Structure 1
């Protein structure tokens, strides 16, 4: 069966077109990503900005062209944080209806399972306890598990777009704004730290655009074979947080090819670093998988 799994995030829209069986994915045809910034201003206004909806329509129109080329059997788009928060969220669903792309909001209780199974797709080691970190634009998911069993899952209202809009007025980031971001992240993590520490965590697996962008810089450009499975040490992560705080958005675009992620990468990297600090761990494994793989696996199982 061929399926198209879409992950409509607060910052980035992703589209994965795969073939597979109920036992898993056998072939990947396309893995597309576009910076849409759907969450633009949602934290302040409670609504999707008209420009964000225009970008969403343009992106999904392009995705649908690709999906039609591969004659898929099923399509499903999952929307997360921004769609839950926006008063005019129905406008996003209307775009999906117009294009023949069914959009669902991931229920909170399913989000952890879908994210976990997507992030661990292809991993063999069932003995280790893994903590999955999915830093989004509006929220960050933290899910610990062993093998197929989920031990704990929580969604925190900290994400790259949300924190940048809330705390950062200009870049380079001032010392006081850096501290405000760090303090806020730390408070959020402290609220779930006892639960996270209940099971000794053997490894952290980070998914989504923030960690994969960092590794792309480390290895000299995005190459999935080099990025997937890369171990990003905590001292390198700390170096990048400092570097992103000290540079303008334009410098981040020019020097590090960060494109539409340049203005939010400081906040995103700060979240990753704060988690490693809280758990006193030496680094994280970066995975190029995530929610879209989980959504594809869900469709293949059914």
Structure 2
């Protein structure tokens, strides 16, 4: 109402990462977010060869344009109070990102914000921890957002010295499913030496991250992103992907390690037999699984040194960066 604070706003969030681009349109009110249309995901592989060339490939830009044209059509049917378009790892690294940003602005009327890893981590934490109250999870939480080009580790409060929802430490590592596949896992299936080199690379990044994030304090690991949810679905033995079955489920480490290693060592043709895996992830999901394996193992080792209770499982969340973008943006509009 004019002259008084609004009770709700309708907003759109767009999250463009290294491998995929996603759209969420939702109403935001005091109770959180309420989806208006099912979220859309398109695998565009924007980060194709960016690790090597530091530039967006022409065909990757064409895929991005095609996806955003679809988003524009949906937005035309569902008017919103505002759009926030966030771009992450690949765009941070691309020398010709101006071409991408200008094209997105022309198609949508809003320019992508290339956010730093620290903000990406905070928004991922905000989105991911919404599963905590429903599943009675123990804090502190470590949210792991495993993308195509980067992986964020975000540790939240303990509910005593700091609220559960407050970020205490965060670090963005330049490792992800696409980056590790292109950098190391070039054979099909990858060789033992390629896997060893990739694992060494991953561990070096984790060493750096652990200097900033006290991972040993973790009581619950919450994993988000396409790699984590895909591997979770495979660990559950799902024949097709099911969002409801994956969201909030707890998976023991031994089960995760078995499935991750199995699919890491498969050929791409063998992975393509599984409908659970999105076709756009078939060639890189093994690289993502290796990153996920190493993060789980290293956090478990750190936790064993800090407290007596073993950390032997993780919780998968369908909510992450995109949800954080929408919730944060909606709250800011409401406060204005």
> TM-score range with shorter-chain normalisation?
over 0.9
Give the Cα separation in 2 of the matches to 1:194 and 1:282: 22
Query: Structure 1: how far apart are the matches of 2:103 and 2:115?
Result: 18
| C-alpha RMSD of matched pairs (Å) | 1.7
Following superposition of structure 1 onto structure 2, how do residues 187-206 of structure 1 map, counting pairs within 5 Å? 187-197=204-214, 200-206=217-223
The within-5 A match list for 1:39-58 is: 39-58=47-66
Q: How far is the alpha carbon of 1:107 from its aligned partner?
A: 2.9
Give unmatched runs, 5+ long, in structure 1. Answer: none
Does structure 2 conserve the Cα–Cα contact (< 8 Å) formed by 1:75 and 1:102?
A: no
Residues 98/216 of structure 1: CA separation in 2 closer, same or farther (3 Å cut): same
The residue aligned with 2:126 is 117
Q: When the two structures are aligned, how many residues end up with a matched partner?
A: 302
Q: What per-residue deviation string (whole Å, max 9, x for no partner) do you get for residues 124-147 of structure 1?
A: 258610000001111100000021
Residue 115 of structure 2: aligned partner: 106
Residues 215 and 221 (structure 1 numbering): CA distance in 2 closer, same or farther, change over 3 Å? farther
1:145 to 156, 165, 174: 156
What's the TM-score, normalizing by structure 2?
0.86
Q: Which has the larger radius of gyration?
A: 2
Aligned twin of 2:317:
287
Secondary structure of the corresponding residue to residue 254 of structure 1: coil
1:237/1:269 contact within 8 Å kept:
no
Q: How do 1:261-276 residues align onto structure 2 when only pairs under 5 Å count?
A: 261-276=281-296
Q: Distance between the aligned counterparts of 1:63 and 1:129, measured in 2? A: 36
> Which of structure 1's runs of 4+ aligned residues deviate more than 6 A?
none
1: distance between equivalents of 2:274 and 2:216? 40
Q: Name whichever of 138-147 and 96-105 sits farther off.
A: 96-105
Structure 1: how far apart are the matches of 2:198 and 2:270? 21
Q: What 5-or-longer segments of structure 2 have no aligned partner?
A: 1-8, 158-163, 301-310
Give the match for residue 91 of structure 1.
Answer: 99
C-alpha distance 160-198 of structure 1, shift in aligned 2 (>3 A): closer
The one of 190, 199, 204 equivalent to 1:173 is 190
Deviation at 1:97, TM superposition (A): 1.3
1:46-92 Cα offsets, whole Å, 9 max, x none, are 10000000000000110111122111111111000100100000111
More displaced 10-residue stretch of structure 1: 234-243 or 168-177: 234-243
CA distance in 1, matches of 2:292, 2:214: 17
Determine if contact 2:24/2:35 at 8 Å carries over to the other structure: no
Structure-2 change in CA distance of 1:126 and 1:205 (3 Å): closer
2 CA distance for matches of 1:41 and 1:226?
34
**Equivalent-residue separation in structure 1 for 2:118 and 2:274 (angstroms):** 40
CA distance in 1, matches of 2:115, 2:35: 25
